[in-house]
């Protein structure tokens, strides 16, 4: 039933860790992207596609979404509502085969207007209200600060992401792994996500395909401040992203030991385990590690 499918879409988008971009005007690459091993594929209608090529790209994406179910969730990055192209993007791709939308340059005004437009498209296609979830990319200083002041976002926005390229252009920050200015912005997106009860955010794509060390450093930085996802622009980046964002075997074993000790003791409150104080914060960490360890969201059969 459609409400169950909608809930499943939301859950998958909250949990994906590697999200591989593929240009919407390159249908010859769709199959390779879907089989690359990423947790989700993001077909791009924005930066990767020239405006003149977007009508054809919309058709290619619609054809894919109407075909047999993909092996992993399929998202579409649409254009910012201020471009005037969002309506055409949404109307062409929305339907049962779409797992979610990636919305660029998110701010409060954009969020509200985009939510309304998607809702109208859902109604026109007979989908349950709110069934198409959104991952919103924060790409400007103004968007970041204005989102921080909000008490809530539309319910369909289940996750945020950081867009370092546009954010660097907006603020003058140099895009390098470890830059304190970018880490501060990334951290703020984690705090906003936590305060608004959103899923942990998705980190920016790393644009230097031939720099695996730089990719791993940036992914490690993101994981250290609380990110659980990262965009990829090439299949070769997926393995490094998984290695950075997924708990190590040692972390999983430690988390299992914490939960086992807690359940076996029958005692409430803080206690000692191998000389370490186990309190509610440590238990929360352990549950988080077990929730994300080795998990790869799949579309239902």
Annotated binding site for Mg(2+): 139, 166
- Domains of the chain (ranges, CATH numbers): 2-246 (3.20.20.60), 247-301 (no CATH)
Report the C-alpha gap between 207 and 220 in whole angstroms.
Answer: 16
In DSSP notation, 12-40 reads HHHH--EEEEEETT-GGGHHHHHTS--SE
Annotated binding site for substrate: 77, 139
Structure pTM? Answer: 0.87
> Hey, is 154 helix, strand or coil?
coil
Whole-angstrom CA distances from 158 to 3, 88, 126 are: 16, 23, 22
Annotated binding site: 77, 139, 166
Handedness of CA 161, 166, 171, 173 (dihedral sign): positive
Q: Considering only CA atoms, which of 100, 77, 78 is closest in space to residue 8?
A: 100
Torsion of CA 172, 175, 180, 182, to 10 degrees: 80
Q: Considering only CA atoms, which of 9, 10, 40 is closest in space to residue 22?
A: 40
User: What pLDDT was estimated at residue 143?
Assistant: 97
pLDDT digit of tens for each residue in the chain (301 aa)? 233 334 489 999 999 999 999 999 999 999 999 999 999 999 999 999 999 999 999 999 999 999 878 889 999 999 999 999 999 999 999 988 999 999 999 999 999 999 999 999 999 999 999 999 999 999 999 999 999 999 999 999 999 999 999 999 999 999 998 999 999 999 999 999 999 999 999 999 999 999 999 999 999 999 999 999 999 999 999 999 999 998 777 777 887 777 777 765 555 566 766 656 677 777 777 777 777 764 444 444 4
């Amino acid at each position: 039933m459609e409400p169950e499918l909608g809930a499943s879409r939301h859950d998958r988008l909250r949990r994906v860790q590697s999200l591989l971009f593929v240009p919407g005007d390159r249908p010859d690459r769709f199959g390779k992207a879907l089989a690359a091993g990423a947790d989700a594929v993001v077909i791009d209608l924005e930066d990767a596609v020239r405006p003149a090529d977007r009508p054809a790209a919309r058709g290619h994406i619609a054809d894919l979404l109407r075909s047999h179910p993909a092996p992993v969730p399929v998202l579409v990055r649409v254009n910012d509502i201020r471009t005037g192209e969002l309506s055409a993007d949404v109307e062409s791709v929305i339907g049962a085969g779409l797992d979610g939308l990636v919305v660029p340059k998110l701010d409060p005004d954009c969020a509200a207007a985009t939510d309304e437009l998607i809702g109208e498209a859902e109604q026109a296609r007979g989908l349950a209200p709110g069934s198409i979830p959104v991952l919103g990319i924060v790409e400007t200083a103004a968007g970041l600060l204005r989102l921080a002041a909000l008490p809530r976002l539309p319910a369909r926005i289940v996750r945020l992401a950081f867009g370092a390229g546009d954010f660097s252009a907006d603020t003058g920050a140099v895009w390098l792994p470890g830059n304190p200015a970018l880490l501060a912005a990334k951290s703020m997106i984690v705090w906003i996500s936590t305060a608004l009860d959103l899923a942990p955010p998705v980190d920016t794509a790393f644009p230097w395909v031939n720099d695996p060390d730089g990719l791993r450093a940036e992914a490690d930085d993101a994981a250290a401040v609380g990110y659980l996802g990262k965009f990829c622009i090439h299949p070769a980046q997926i393995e490094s992203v998984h290695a950075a964002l997924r708990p190590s075997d040692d972390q999983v074993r430690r988390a299992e030991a914490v939960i086992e000790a807690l359940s076996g003791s029958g005692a409430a409150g803080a206690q000692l385990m191998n000389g370490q104080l186990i309190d509610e914060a440590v238990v929360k960490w352990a549950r988080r590690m077990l929730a994300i360890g080795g998990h790869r969201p799949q579309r239902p059969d």
